[in-house]
Structure 1
Amino acid sequence: MNDKHSIFMRETLTVQMRQVFPPDTNHHGTLFGGKLMAYIDETAAIAATKLARGPVVTASTDSVDFIKPIRVGDVVTIEAMVSWTGRSSMEIFLKITSENLLKKERSVAALSFLTFVALDEHGKPTQIPSVIPETEEEKWLNETAIKRAEHRKERKKESEDLARFFQKGH
Structure 2
Amino acid sequence: MEKSIKESQVVMHELVLPNDTNVLGNVHGGRVMCLMDICAAMSAYKHARQPVVTASVDRLDFLASAKKGDILILKSSVNYVHRTSMEIGVRIDAESPFTGETNHTATAYLTFVAIDKNNKPSPIPKIKTETKDEKRRYERAKKRHLQRRNNRIK
Q: Give the aligned partner of residue 53 of structure 1.
A: 49
| 1:34 matched to 2:30 | yes
Question: Given the alignment, which residue of 95, 120, 124 partners 2:120?
Answer: 124
Alignment of 1:9-158 (within 5 A): 9-157=5-153
CA distance in 2, matches of 1:36, 1:10: 24
Counterpart Cα distance in 2 of 1:103 and 1:32: 23
**Mean CA deviation greater in 89-98 or 143-152:** 143-152
If the length of structure 2 is used for normalisation, what is the TM-score?
Answer: 0.96
| Secondary structure at the counterpart of residue 90 of structure 1 | strand
**1:15 Cα deviation (Å)?**
1.1
Structure 1 unaligned residues grouped into runs of 5+: 161-170
> How many residues are matched?
154
Distance, in Å, in 1 between the alignment partners of 2:132 and 2:63 is: 23
Aligned to 1:18, the other structure's residue is in SS state strand
What's the RMSD between the two structures over aligned residues?
Answer: 1.0
Partner deviation per Cα, 1:85-127 (whole Å, 9 max, x = no partner):
0000000001111100201211211111000000111111111
> In the TM superposition, what is the alpha-carbon distance from 1:134 to its structure 2 partner?
1.9
Three-state SS of the structure 1 residue aligned to 2:105 is: strand
The residue that corresponds to 1:166 in the other structure is none
Give the greater-gyration-radius structure (CA): 1
- Consecutive unaligned residues in structure 2, runs of 5 or more: none
- Tell me how far apart the structure 1 counterparts of residues 35 and 152 of structure 2 sit (CA, whole Å): 24
The AA in structure 2 aligned to 1:115 is: T
Distance 1:72 1:22 in 2: 6
Fraction of identical pairs, as percent = 38
Name the SS of the counterpart of 2:117 in structure 1: coil
- Separation in 2 of the partners of 1:131 and 1:26? 40
Between 129-138 and 9-18, report the one with greater CA deviation.
129-138
